[in-house]
Structure 1
């Protein structure tokens, strides 16, 4: 531990890197450039303590940091040049904001004397800090070298306190290169989470105990609270469902777990809904209609929300709101329910039977989504329980929302509500960098893959042993289907001319395989995961052959 009282002369870049090290950062994703030379030089000199992964596009740096953060719960850090460099990462920042992922962006600035002058200095933006503040939870400029420890500490406090989210810091070009005595700070201390109010917990517990058919929905905010959520579900004999961010909090093969389609089957009888760390997109957008904003849901069901962000209770108003961290608040609910009903739920066997029936019905119903379900079954069979699946916006990816059972916390990485096409492959590189010893599979369509295809070079150069499956249907599948069905088959921009993906893989020095049926995918996927090397698998899919997954993602109200 560095002593707070001992100063050391350092450049601005070195002061930032040392503050990262104090806060436990051992991995950074970056692309160097003129304004950032002192920072990258400091990274090189500290390579024994912090691993820097280079990328071929700034957007990949941001998404790799996102994947690292999303799969670990720890901060993902990236560094890029200002102006166009940092603008290239804003999709990743928006994705991190949407998924409440702790991502730290470090960037440069024009020389200090040019700030706000509009002289057209290299990479100058009208107000870069204001732009970053509109996309992140918090952003600040490090004005002096000696301020770096305090500002970086505050960045960590903001990023990790309360609802996690992305933050950004910038430093002027000349300041980053200048030297000054720097006094290190200790690691940042987090703001304490609000303690769950006893009255709110008791009110929520009474509603849940009195319910005949409660349901629990979890989001990203519950990813660290799996044990507590499972205990609560057992205390209530309640099904647990998630759409994207909360998947795996309760394994979907647990007797009380299930897919979003199974949850929709159980929704008509639900009399109390408990949302934990979730925006509750399923019931109040996807099941209610995406064009009408529901702000104050009408019972039934009664709505209970447990969230660390008080703003959520104004966005979707509950009957009872419990302001707390998901883990602490859920344990408080468990204790209160056990006090109110020490004998346990009235008919746990009946509840489990209803959940099992809904799961079976849901699986039979979604079997029509072919060939996507058959390919997902193969991936699920081959990937171990602790293997990580990184989704993408493609026909197989949309089917994965309900057709790929998630069996553990942080083993399913999605794009959240931003719906950022092309996020999957670079995000998965960051996931694999964070978990080099665990199998990681990235699925993507041909369209989304080409958003970041250049990062095959990153996978090869950095020896990131990611297995990427490209489902090549020669189109933007959703757009093609919509134009065919809704716009008189007037096609524009939806049919794609693709490269030979096997020649492309070979050009980057990456192992490649082409298959055209689920059995062939099974034959190559296991050895690819075992190889520890980057592997690209192309699945040839006839254009327009995939069944639509959308009836299960925007279903009509259940009967």
Structure 2
């Protein structure tokens, strides 16, 4: 037992669990915790220019590394400013921990208008996370932190929140020494459920494997299953790279769509099956679905013909073992799938200028580099045509599709992976949500290359208003700064590239600098071809 303050218990528990970086902005409610962090050996604190930036950086850190992303903000407006990033972490199954405060403990619930007071602060935090709780006394800190780490890391990983009243952070008591906290083991795959899946898989002639972020740690098993069945593997956003997308059995979504009419079994592994059920919205007659997923609620939301609640790696390996006596060697179908991929790639060249620029980025970005998309014309197109070679290398916001997450998230990715290339692609609208974090990049040496495609509009909004609402434009066109000059005012290298060839040169130079860089790519307003025919393809006749 050691006498520690609540702030010290939190800081030391973070260290004991491998956390060496915290993002945030200090504030009065948090001073005693901030000071505990400052006294914690080996702890790096990266302070940002907006609470949203801190939370997005924690998200990027966690998503790209698999380690918890931790951030701290003041209660009330600080928490609310970070809320979009918590939504992103929730939607993209990412272990993010928010540590925040509250007003003085004896004033909670009285509605007296205290600094940063919300009507139900803890309730707000709970509404944005998988789990949240309040530490009311230092003797409770260990138990609350234990549950936070268990909830964050067990089953379907999602964000958690911890708050403590202003006066409690500095309160001291005799407590147990902070320790490493383990997650709850995944359930053992049920043999009967595995056998039911195996029966359907063995009888299928044209199965397709759909992977999501839940399959990140099951790359070998997914690849083994695909080769056993000679089945194509596809992914929408989260699962990109589980099967290297230059593998003959990997199909990017437009190529997978061409295979879909002949598919008789969909095998979902760690995936919500968003691509098929929300994007494609058409199913071949008689097709069946099997699923391997750690989250039991998924089987209520979308009930398969057979399924098992299991860790993706364990469940897929159990399925492979069950198929050994059911499946004989199958004919190599690589040439068939290559033809589908080649045809889809040719069709996607119609999406200009996005496809041309993305091809350049893929050529220049090292194979082990990170690509952080954004809700933009280039970002939407990337989901369809940007190949990825390993899990976590393609960083997306999941189903939240929240404008402005990209650049800030990329900074967190780079902090977690300082020796890897990190490229962020944004539209002009999204980039301006977090442009102030250029100062953070300079101050902390976070060497992200940010490519800003400037079409002077919220491009998707503008296209929809033109095509669906008879060209009645409302809030769609944007007046922008000179992004090169803006970058330079922060002390960041700014480059303008007006063609794919110019982007190739600029990107090579930027990566060689190993410094923060902004590359502006001007795009004529309204000239972007729509990627949506590939994202939401029309049903076959």
TM range, smaller chain:
over 0.9
Are positions 1:29 and 2:23 aligned together?
yes
Q: Structure 1 CA distance, aligned partners of 2:399 and 2:391? A: 19
Superposed, which structure 2 residues align to 1:92-103 within 5 Å? 92-103=85-96
Q: Structure 2 CA distance, aligned partners of 1:396 and 1:73? A: 26
Q: Structure 2 CA distance, aligned partners of 1:242 and 1:75? A: 24
Task: Work out the number of aligned pairs and report it.
Answer: 541
Local SS of the residue matching 1:135: coil
Q: Structure 1 CA distance, aligned partners of 2:505 and 2:134? A: 52
Q: Structure 2 CA distance, aligned partners of 1:375 and 1:478? A: 18
Q: Could you say which residue in structure 2 is the equivalent of 1:157?
A: 150
Q: Could you say which residue in structure 1 is the equivalent of 2:49?
A: 56
Are positions 1:223 and 2:216 aligned together?
yes
Cα offset for 1:498? 0.4
Q: Could you say which residue in structure 1 is the equivalent of 2:329?
A: 344
Q: Structure 2 CA distance, aligned partners of 1:21 and 1:114? A: 32
Q: Could you say which residue in structure 1 is the equivalent of 2:339?
A: 357
Local SS of the residue matching 2:127: helix
Q: Could you say which residue in structure 2 is the equivalent of 1:120?
A: 113
- From 30, 35, 41, give the equivalent of 2:35: 41
| TM-score between the two structures when normalised by the length of structure 2 | 0.98
Local SS of the residue matching 2:521: strand
Summarize the Cα distance change of 1:356–1:558 in structure 2 as closer, same or farther, 3 Å threshold: farther
Q: Structure 1 CA distance, aligned partners of 2:347 and 2:484? A: 35
Local SS of the residue matching 1:468: strand
Q: Could you say which residue in structure 1 is the equivalent of 2:319?
A: 333
Superposed, which structure 2 residues align to 1:310-321 within 5 Å? 310-321=296-307
Local SS of the residue matching 1:444: strand
Q: Could you say which residue in structure 2 is the equivalent of 1:307?
A: 293
Are positions 1:544 and 2:526 aligned together?
yes
- From 374, 382, 403, give the equivalent of 2:356: 374
Cα offset for 1:193? 0.7
Q: Structure 2 CA distance, aligned partners of 1:354 and 1:66? A: 39
Cα offset for 1:298? 8.7
Local SS of the residue matching 2:420: coil
Q: Could you say which residue in structure 2 is the equivalent of 1:292?
A: none
| 1:338–1:344 Cα contact (<8 Å) kept | no
Q: Structure 2 CA distance, aligned partners of 1:298 and 1:15? A: 56
Q: Structure 2 CA distance, aligned partners of 1:69 and 1:300? A: 40
Cα offset for 1:182? 2.6
Cα offset for 1:502? 1.3
Superposed, which structure 2 residues align to 1:101-140 within 5 Å? 101-140=94-133
Q: Could you say which residue in structure 1 is the equivalent of 2:493?
A: 511
Superposed, which structure 2 residues align to 1:191-210 within 5 Å? 191-210=184-203
- From 437, 455, 480, give the equivalent of 1:455: 437
Q: Structure 2 CA distance, aligned partners of 1:141 and 1:448? A: 34
Q: Could you say which residue in structure 2 is the equivalent of 1:234?
A: 227
**Per-residue CA shift, 1:127-185, capped at 9, x if unaligned?**
11111112211000011112222211210100001110000000000001222223224
Cα offset for 1:27? 1.1
- From 112, 137, 141, give the equivalent of 2:134: 141
Cα offset for 1:334? 1.0
Runs of 4+ in 1 over 3 A off after TM superposition: none
Summarize the Cα distance change of 1:69–1:558 in structure 2 as closer, same or farther, 3 Å threshold: farther
Cα offset for 1:557? 1.5
Q: Could you say which residue in structure 2 is the equivalent of 1:294?
A: none
| 2:88–2:398 Cα contact (<8 Å) kept | yes
| 2:5–2:169 Cα contact (<8 Å) kept | yes
Are positions 1:323 and 2:309 aligned together?
yes
Q: Structure 2 CA distance, aligned partners of 1:60 and 1:481? A: 29
Q: Structure 2 CA distance, aligned partners of 1:182 and 1:510? A: 47
| 2:21–2:45 Cα contact (<8 Å) kept | yes
**Per-residue CA shift, 1:328-385, capped at 9, x if unaligned?**
00111111112322x322x2x2x22221111111111111001111100110000011
Q: Which runs of 5+ in 1 are unaligned?
A: 1-5, 290-296
Q: Structure 2 CA distance, aligned partners of 1:94 and 1:520? A: 37
Cα offset for 1:51? 1.0
Cα offset for 1:300? 2.4
- From 54, 67, 70, give the equivalent of 2:63: 70
- From 399, 407, 411, give the equivalent of 1:417: 399
| 2:22–2:46 Cα contact (<8 Å) kept | yes
| 1:23–1:153 Cα contact (<8 Å) kept | no
Worse-superposed segment, 462-471 or 148-157:
148-157
Q: Could you say which residue in structure 2 is the equivalent of 1:252?
A: 245
Q: Structure 2 CA distance, aligned partners of 1:206 and 1:86? A: 49
Local SS of the residue matching 1:490: coil
Q: Could you say which residue in structure 1 is the equivalent of 2:7?
A: 13
**Per-residue CA shift, 1:413-464, capped at 9, x if unaligned?**
0111111000001000000000000000000000000001100011011110
Q: Structure 1 CA distance, aligned partners of 2:517 and 2:4? A: 42
| 1:391–1:413 Cα contact (<8 Å) kept | yes
Summarize the Cα distance change of 1:298–1:528 in structure 2 as closer, same or farther, 3 Å threshold: closer
Q: Could you say which residue in structure 2 is the equivalent of 1:3?
A: none
